[in-house]
Amino acid sequence: MKKLNSYILHGIALCLFSVFAITNPTVVNGQPKYSLETDHLSMADLGALLERMGKEIQQKGQVTIGGNTYPVKGFGSIEMGVGPRRRGQGTSINFEISADGRKGLPTGGRGATTYISYDRGGMRVTPTKLAEILAKLGTTLESKGVFVIDDHSVTYEGKAKIVQKLTKGATGRGGAGATHSYDIDIMFGQNDFPTPKDEADDITSMLPEERELQSQKIKELAKKEIAGADQKAVAKLLASLSRDLKAGRVRVGDQDIPAGENIGCNFSHLIAMDGKSHRIQLALKFGQAPAQAQRRRTGPRYGEEFINKPTKQVGALLKRIGTEMLEAGTIKLGENTFNVGQKATYEVSASNRGFEIGLQYIEPPKEE
């Protein structure tokens, strides 16, 4: 609710979109809407723009653009994604940020039982790299009692229920297709973690014939559950998974599957609406991907989503990006650094319903 390091002969194209959905906005100067577009922008000017907006959100809880002022306060959500562009060379970064002025938990819709605190998807890494990430995650948990993923953290409490599942998907034509999935859910807190509404709906909405077709497409190879796991037991399990990945395999029970050269993975953290239980989930996909999918995944991917976060956090993000552009000509997201080039095209629009920035730039070819 994502890192960009692409070696391309003719350059890198980046798209950045930020959206602020605002309730009861204040519009000054009698202007309910604003838009601007340019196809020639220096990155220094763009950095200054983002830095100014980030600082204004942090200090005043508002965004001013084209003489119009919009309040950006309370809590909201942020969704970021990074990946190769669909057409042509380059990489795109997308930000969608909503500041709806909430002071507490999101409603999550009728009957919601959980909400997303963090969701990072679209990662594609080697087994060795993922092993390093999990080893660090387990070490921090054991020593400090905290799960730390990027700049997101959650304190471990109580006993955990752990569910591991290994499945095999049906292959496509010519044997192509993502062949295996591994999921581990770590649920802990004062109460049992409830089933998220969307996951429950997915199951109950299926017709019997759909369930049968699903079972034919996805075969469960192994499932293992652990109840009452303490902090050390969870850390030990993460360390074991790390060792398996470092050895190039994924293992659950008596099933031992080669991990392949690249693994797609997703980290998520869900919280129960009462705030008394949590779920940390790691979902992996590995095996041979279709040739078309392999072409789409030539560049790094990054995505993350935050729900119910202070709007000032949005300001801090934009301020940091703007400062980095001004001072270093780069953007750092997660573990990757992106060179932003010298010139860009950008578009700005604002109204009483929201605020949006669109950016695209081309990096010059690397010098030989």
pLDDT tens-digit profile of 255-295? Answer: 999 998 889 999 999 999 888 999 999 999 987 544 444 44
Provide the pLDDT for residue 133.
94
d(CA 59, CA 61): 6
Largest Cα–Cα distance of the chain, in whole Å?
69
Work out the pLDDT band at 30, boundaries 50, 70, 90.
Answer: very low
Q: Is the pLDDT of residue 158 over 60?
A: yes
Q: Is the pLDDT reported for residue 60 higher than 80?
A: yes
Contact 343, 364 (CB under 8 A): no
CA nearest neighbour of 259 among 267, 250, 251, 268 = 250
pLDDT at site 65: 79
* 27 confidence band (pLDDT: 50, 70, 90): very low
Q: What is the DSSP string of 132-184?
A: HHHHHHHHHHHHHSEEEETTEEEE--S-EEEEEEEEEEPP-GGG-S--EEEEE
Listed in sequence order, the residues at least 6 apart from 364 whose beta carbon sits closer than 8 Å to its beta carbon are 11, 341, 342
* DSSP code string of 183-209: EEEEEEESSPPPPPHHHHHHHHT--HH
Q: Which helix (H) or strand (E) holds 317?
A: helix 311-328
- Whole-model pTM: value is 0.60
User: Residue 29 pLDDT more than 50?
Assistant: no
- How far apart CA 147 and CA 141 sit, in angstroms, is 5
Q: Is the pLDDT of residue 121 over 50?
A: yes
What is the per-residue pLDDT for 93? 60
CA–CA separation, 50 vs 46, rounded Å? 6
pLDDT value at 303 more than 60: no
Q: Which residues are CB-neighbours of 143 under 8 A, at least 6 positions away?
A: none
Q: Given phi > 0 = left and psi -120 to 50 = alpha, else beta, which region is 329?
A: left
Q: Which amino acid is at 223?
A: K
Q: Which of 24-28, 161-165, 169-173, 190-194 has the highest mean pLDDT?
A: 161-165
At residue 19, the pLDDT reads: 41
pLDDT of residue 128: 94
Tokens standing for residue 59: 């200090």
The residue that leads in pLDDT, 364 or 96, is 96
The pLDDT, as a whole number, for residue 288 is 56
Query: What is the amino acid identity at position 218?
Result: I
Q: Is the pLDDT of residue 143 over 80?
A: yes
What confidence category does residue 353 fall into, taking pLDDT thresholds of 50, 70 and 90?
low
To the nearest whole number, what is the mean pLDDT of the chain? 75
State both tokens at 13. 């194209």
**What are the residue ranges spanned by the domains of the chain?**
13-362
Q: Distance between CA atoms of 95 and 77, rounded to whole angstroms? A: 11
List pLDDT tens digits, range 305-339.
656 667 777 778 878 888 888 888 777 776 777 77
Does residue 10 or residue 93 have the better pLDDT?
93
What pLDDT, on a 0 to 100 scale, did the predictor assign at position 305?
A: 62
Of all residues in the chain, what percent carry a pLDDT higher than 90? 29
For the stretch 206-251, pLDDT in tens is 666 566 666 667 888 999 999 999 999 999 999 999 999 999 999 9
Distances (CA, A) of 130 to 125, 195, 231, 238, 276: 6, 27, 21, 11, 29
What 8-state DSSP symbol labels residue 12? -
Q: Which residues contact 245 (CB under 8 A, 6 or more apart)?
A: 127, 128, 130, 131, 134, 259, 263
pLDDT score, position 5: 32
Are 301 and 2 spatial neighbours (Cβ–Cβ below 8 Å)? yes
